[in-house]
Structure 1
Amino acid sequence: MSVFLPHLRTGWHVDQAILSEDDRLVVIRFGRDGDPDCMLMDEILYKVSESISQFAVIYLCDIDDVPDFNEMYELYDPMTVMFFYRNKHMMCDFGTGNNNKLNFVLSNKQELIDIIETIYRGAIKGKGLVIAPKDYSYTNKRGL
């Protein structure tokens, strides 16, 4: 659990975070704060938070404490990162078949910065779906 990034403690707080930003991308990590994947991703999110603060804001939300969105956003993975811009869910094609969310841990801080920046650039152009700067499909990971 990251003590440095703001936690959204209720469904109302999640809604307000998404609704209140007019010019920045809202990045929310959904998951269980004690889960190892969440802790790894929280560390990367914290490391990039200052670099992206001009165009994105990051929040954390424990899905056990705030189950309001689990069914709506299909939050079944141990760790999920979702993106919102001007109260609109932003989708990104990572090559994994799931365009609604990022549900794998990134180990590289620059990769996450690139993803967030790509989604932000697409959002300000009015796109609802953007293509990730890198293909994260299983076949690509194997080098095929």
Structure 2
Amino acid sequence: MSGFLLPTLTTKRDVDSIIRDTLDTVLLLRFGRAADFLCLHLDDIVPSLLPLFLFFSLFLNLSLTCCGLLHPQLSKSAWKVSKFANIALVDADAEEVQVYLNYFDITLLPSTVFFFNAHHMKMDSGTPDHTKWVGSFYTKQDLIDVLEAIFRGAMKGKLIVRCPLPPERIPKYRLLFKDV
């Protein structure tokens, strides 16, 4: 189970209600799979899987830094940001949640979406997509800094904020479009 400390949402009704009912705090929704390694790392379940990952990394040419394995974030940071942010996990394999995956165009997992008072908060991080954070954060402090920037911007009435992280700590990816 990927979120023993964090609520895991599997229905559209649960996602709708948490978005609607979270007031005056930032809501972080992490879309991912319970069996995905990066999602487990982001949720802080991975330390026991480290030897297994190291074994398979020899065959798959994976590195610890590309996966962001050095710093688990969500469950360890939840209590630190509890005064201004709530964190919930959304199971991307759940049938009812596919509406949100299509709406936010979530194809890469884990993806993180932010809300404040039921408004979707966007972040300009220098990537082509401002609607979500794709991938894992490198450190817990990176996650806390992003949540704090979104909270401060939302309190000023902004719907898009600048990412406080330096470019080297922002995951890079390429968008691929179908039928273009």
What TM-score results when the alignment is normalised by the length of structure 1? Answer: 0.91
Determine the C-alpha separation between the residues in 2 that align with 1:105 and 1:95.
16
Give the superposition deviation at 1:137. 6.2
Cα deviations across residues 69-112 of structure 1 (Å, max 9, x unaligned)? 11111111121001001110000011122211100211200111
Determine the C-alpha separation between the residues in 2 that align with 1:24 and 1:17.
12
Aligned-partner residue type, residue 29 of structure 1: R
Determine the C-alpha separation between the residues in 2 that align with 1:95 and 1:128.
16
- Moved segments of 4+, more than 6 Å: 137-141
Determine the C-alpha separation between the residues in 1 that align with 2:110 and 2:43.
10
Determine the C-alpha separation between the residues in 2 that align with 1:136 and 1:37.
20
Aligned-partner residue type, residue 88 of structure 2: Y
Choose which of 58, 70, 75 in structure 2 pairs with 1:46. 75
In the other structure, the counterpart of 1:25 is 26
Choose 6-15 or 129-138, whichever is displaced more.
Answer: 129-138
**Does the aligned pair in 2 maintain the 1:94–1:137 contact within 8 Å?**
no
In the other structure, the counterpart of 1:87 is 118
In the other structure, the counterpart of 2:104 is 73
Cα deviations across residues 21-78 of structure 1 (Å, max 9, x unaligned)? 1111110000112111111111211111000000100000011112221111111112
Counterparts of 1:1-144 in structure 2 under 5 Å?
1-43=2-44, 44-65=73-94, 66-136=97-167
**Does the aligned pair in 2 maintain the 1:95–1:135 contact within 8 Å?**
no
Determine the C-alpha separation between the residues in 1 that align with 2:170 and 2:7.
36
**C-alpha spacing 1:137/1:110, structure 2 compared with 1 (3 Å):** closer
Q: Point out where structure 1 has 5 or more consecutive residues left out of the alignment.
A: none
**Does the aligned pair in 2 maintain the 1:95–1:137 contact within 8 Å?**
no
Q: Point out where structure 2 has 5 or more consecutive residues left out of the alignment.
A: 45-72, 173-180
In the other structure, the counterpart of 2:48 is none
Determine the C-alpha separation between the residues in 1 that align with 2:42 and 2:30.
8
RMSD in angstroms over aligned alpha carbons?
1.9
Secondary structure in 2 matching 1:37: helix
What TM-score results when the alignment is normalised by the length of structure 2? Answer: 0.74
Aligned length: 141
**Does the aligned pair in 2 maintain the 1:96–1:136 contact within 8 Å?**
no
